[in-house]
Structure 1
Amino acid sequence: MTPDDKHLQPRRTPRQIRAELTRARILAAAAHVFAELGYAAGTTNRIAERAQVSIGSLYQYFPGKDAILVALVTDHLARETPDLDEIAAGPLADGVRAMVHAAVRNHDDDPELLSVMMQQAIRWPEVMPLMADQQRRRAEEVRAFLDRHPEVDVADTNTAAHLVVTTVGVVAHWLTAAPAALDPRSLEDEMTAMLTGYLTGR
């Protein structure tokens, strides 16, 4: 984001447990308000009321609901990649499943909120670089995982990493938020088999 994007930036970075809990409460309340009422009706007053904080306390952390939504999008993206270092020594299919499971669970938690986040986020050009940067960093982590895993057999692990990250994210989004959403367990099984087969050349 540029210096002019102050309406999308949090005002205060929590440095103590109490402050972090207050921030988390505000975001949890906003998630419920946006999912139930939509973004237009999800005012900061309603968010503060749901979070049981004063409107002044809310504004200590966020300049407005746009910044709250950006924080929700950022947190949502950050949850989609598990700690690959912890699973690098196991079978490749287990690592792929961990990535798929994290994305499916993240999208399945609240598809209504996810729909609000995606619809609103694309309104701001400032948000797209944020999402692109998160995507790039996730792809770098996955590439490092692929580079050191003995079962991987692809010509270009950089391209493969981007394909894996994009496929997992897009498929999880569309097939869990759809009106006729697929069974999460079945979706995980099929995506794991598909991506493992691609990465191993089998």
Structure 2
Amino acid sequence: MVAEELTENELPPSKPIPTQARARLKRDALIAAATEDFKHLGYESTTAKSIANRAEVATGTFYQYFHNKDDMLRVIARERLEQLSQQFEEQESRLPLTDITALLKHNLALVFTFHEEAPELHQVLEQRRHCDPHLQEILKQGEVILSQQVLDFVKTFNVEDPEAVAFSLFAMSEGLAHHHLSQVIQGIAPPSEPIITLGAEMLASYFKEQTRK
């Protein structure tokens, strides 16, 4: 299907991930370079050439693996969300479900780290999602997967309305992380550890209250 035939909600086909180890290393280097460029240069100043220069490859090599910088940004967004989802799964397998506060603290810390390890990149993604319907779809799909993971967790307990409880837990966690991120960007953020600890205790209190109903 050519690009002109794509509807607004259809993602353009990505170039296939190479199977050869050397080619995969080049692709990974380009993704790492693009992440740094988007963080430090912003969207407008990042180009295929600047990414290739940072990765120390020819600009033509960039186009072997990606259509353009928007394609690259979508790949970065997808990989970041997949990594966060995998971290949630690994975290829940390591911690007992009986220690709700500890589990919520660890997961809340993952959300904070996800937002704060690259605040400039997060800003670029949030800005571009309103301009690029394909990026918006990727981010929405990622959020749906994360929300489903929260719902699956809540459903393991005796909760009267698991959908509402899961929605509230997810929204409150995102709200805390986004508010702290905005302060990080402004350079006025307090240390995150006390906020994560207190936030987890508040979320756990809310969750335990729902299980008693």
Shorter-chain TM-score bucket reads 0.7 to 0.9
Partner of 2:194: 186
Correspondence list, 1:167-186, <5 A: 167-178=172-183, 179=186, 180-186=188-194
Distance change in 2, residues 1:10/1:197 (3 Å): same
In 1, Cα distance between the equivalents of 2:28 and 2:98?
34
Equivalent position to 1:24, from 22, 28, 45: 28
In 1, Cα distance between the equivalents of 2:170 and 2:64?
35
Give the conservation status (yes or no) of the 8 Å contact 2:74–2:138. Answer: no
Partner of 2:140: 132
Give the partner amino acid of 1:199.
F
**Alignment deviations for residues 29-84 of structure 1 (CA, whole Å, 9 cap, x no partner):** 11111121111110110001101122222112110000111112222323334113
In 2, Cα distance between the equivalents of 1:17 and 1:88?
38
Q: Which has the higher helix share?
A: 2
Per the normalisation by structure 1, the TM-score is 0.85
Correspondence list, 1:36-55, <5 A: 36-55=40-59
SS of the residue 2:45 aligns to: coil
Partner of 1:165: 170
Aligned length: 198
Distance change in 2, residues 1:160/1:21 (3 Å): farther
Per the normalisation by structure 2, the TM-score is 0.81
Give the conservation status (yes or no) of the 8 Å contact 1:7–1:66. Answer: no
- Provide structure 2 residue ranges, at least 5 long, that are not aligned to the other structure: none
Deviation at 1:129, TM superposition (A): 2.7
Deviation at 1:162, TM superposition (A): 2.3
Distance change in 2, residues 1:20/1:164 (3 Å): farther
Give the conservation status (yes or no) of the 8 Å contact 1:11–1:63. Answer: yes
